[in-house]
Amino acid sequence: MQQELRTERPADRLEELDALRGLAAFAVLIHHALQLIPRYETPAITGAGWLRYTLTQLTPLRIVEMGRPAVLFFFVLSGYVLTRALLRNGSPGLGAFAAQRTIRLGLPVAVSVLLSVALYAAFAEPTLPAEWRERSLFTWLEPPTMGQVVSNIALLADNDDMRLNVVLWSLVHEWRLSLLLPLVLLFRGRVGLFVAAVLALMAIGIMGGATENRVLLGPQLHSTVAASLYFSGGLGAGAVLALAFGQDVPRLRSHGMVAAGLATLALFSMASDLAVYAASVLLIVMARQPGWLRDGLRSPALVALGAISFSLYLVHVPVLVATMHALHDEWRPEALAALGTVLSLMVALPMYWLVEVPSRRLARNAEKRLSAQPATAPAPAARPHAPAPDWAPEGGMPSRVA
């Protein structure tokens, strides 16, 4: 299975970055699975509350406790790999790139929403006890409506409507921002100007109501646009790394790796989106260094996890909630969380093969068709009295100048 997953990957993909994406998706899965378990009371021991707060809020365990840092890492990684590909291959044009991204993201998103509706019809318990409703990940609190299905698939929902698959909030922003990513190529050699533009977009988003470190979507459609502008800092941070160093990254010596590692841990421990963006950039740089970290990330198991990471991200919430609805009377919460985690991984595999891989191929074909240059009409033959220059083949202008 792991070898099959490898064969579907393009040869120019960086497997260590795919592995990081897989680990981030798994962290989000664990974060949501833990929401099914009641919060245990802190023991009445001096210092226990301080220790619990410190471990869950001020250390890298915050990634699992909050879930948000892992999603912000997705933004930075997408900005980096997409910009890196554009720098390598050139822009296919805004229309072709937008069609490719819409198909690539939109088809799996649509299937995940329909999966949620199907699981609701099969397993939802309308009279779910209140203590379980509080741990239902804001999903299926009411019967799905056609309007919710359409808005969730179209990635046009706000906070109140995104109730069929709550993780889609991040896809709203990634889809919108990535449509304009080819414009980043205008800033080659102008990294400082690009940073200024990204910071300006983030500032506009904050002025539009996007609350730093907490915003997801927003209460209304225009609020989601402000939130998208705010999250441009994530994709922008990854794009800056690609613009500044191209296909490579700065080389770090052993002491540099230690310093970068400590800084990454410290930054991921902070309740700051900007700190997480910086940590994500450092983590990408570290992962691409030759040595034990890159070799470990390229292990078959982590590469396979990275391959199904997008599918896992899309299916895990409906699967977890369906497991909770179906078995909450018979299973302990801890067992439900464990079972839902395993089932999410299992469902992600057919989602990858049957939906994600075909959508990726369809997206590539659409991009090729839309970006293909129309055939040029043959140039008229030179008049007898106007001899053709020796660099023009058969008396016509060259079709391409090297």
Q: How confident is the model at residue 351 (pLDDT cuts 50, 70, 90)?
A: very high
Average pLDDT for 173-196 = 96
Q: Is the pLDDT of residue 387 over 70?
A: no
Q: Are 102 and 154 in contact (CB under 8 A)?
A: no
The domain spans of the chain are 13-38+48-372
Q: Are 318 and 138 in contact (CB under 8 A)?
A: no
Q: How many CB atoms lie within 10 A of CB 294?
A: 17
Q: How confident is the model at residue 392 (pLDDT cuts 50, 70, 90)?
A: very low
**302 or 10: which leads in pLDDT:** 302
Q: How confident is the model at residue 390 (pLDDT cuts 50, 70, 90)?
A: very low
Residue 386's pLDDT is what?
Answer: 42
- Hey, is 394 helix, strand or coil? helix
Average pLDDT for 126-153 = 92
The rounded percent of the chain whose pLDDT value lies above 90 is 80
Q: How confident is the model at residue 44 (pLDDT cuts 50, 70, 90)?
A: confident
Q: Is the pLDDT of residue 10 over 80?
A: no
Average pLDDT for 354-362 = 98
Report d(CA 146, CA 157) in Å as an integer: 12
Q: How confident is the model at residue 50 (pLDDT cuts 50, 70, 90)?
A: confident
The rounded percent of the chain whose pLDDT value lies above 70 is 89
Amino acid occupying residue 313: Y
Q: How confident is the model at residue 4 (pLDDT cuts 50, 70, 90)?
A: low
> Residue 109: which residues within 8 A CB-CB, separation 6 or more?
152, 153, 155, 168, 171, 314
Tell me the longest C-alpha to C-alpha distance in the chain.
Answer: 102
Residue 401's pLDDT is what?
Answer: 31
Report d(CA 363, CA 99) in Å as an integer: 7
Q: pLDDT digits over 276-285, tens only?
A: 999 999 999 9
Q: Is the pLDDT of residue 240 over 60?
A: yes
Residue 139's pLDDT is what?
Answer: 95
pTM value is 0.89
Average pLDDT for 247-253 = 95
Q: Is the pLDDT of residue 253 over 50?
A: yes
Average pLDDT for 313-322 = 98
Residue 40's pLDDT is what?
Answer: 76
Q: Is the pLDDT of residue 388 over 70?
A: no
Mean pLDDT score across all residues of the chain: 90
Q: pLDDT digits over 85-131, tens only?
A: 999 999 999 999 999 999 999 999 999 999 999 999 999 998 899 88
Q: pLDDT digits over 55-95, tens only?
A: 889 999 999 999 999 999 999 999 999 999 999 999 999 99
Q: Is the pLDDT of residue 292 over 90?
A: yes
What single string gives the DSSP state of each residue in 223-283? HHHHHHHHTHHHHHHHHHHHHHHTTS-----HHHHHHHHHHHHHHHTSS-HHHHHHHHHHH
Tell me which of 131-135, 229-233, 381-385 is least confident.
Answer: 381-385
Nearest to 36 by CA among 121, 159, 133, 165: 133
Find the helix or strand (DSSP H, E) in which 136 lies: none
Q: Is the pLDDT of residue 194 over 50?
A: yes
Average pLDDT for 164-181 = 96
Tell me which of 211-215, 227-231, 308-312 is least confident.
Answer: 211-215
> Residue 163: which residues within 8 A CB-CB, separation 6 or more?
138, 139, 140, 141, 142, 144, 148, 152
Residue 6's pLDDT is what?
Answer: 56
Average pLDDT for 4-18 = 71
Q: pLDDT digits over 20-39, tens only?
A: 999 999 999 999 999 999 98
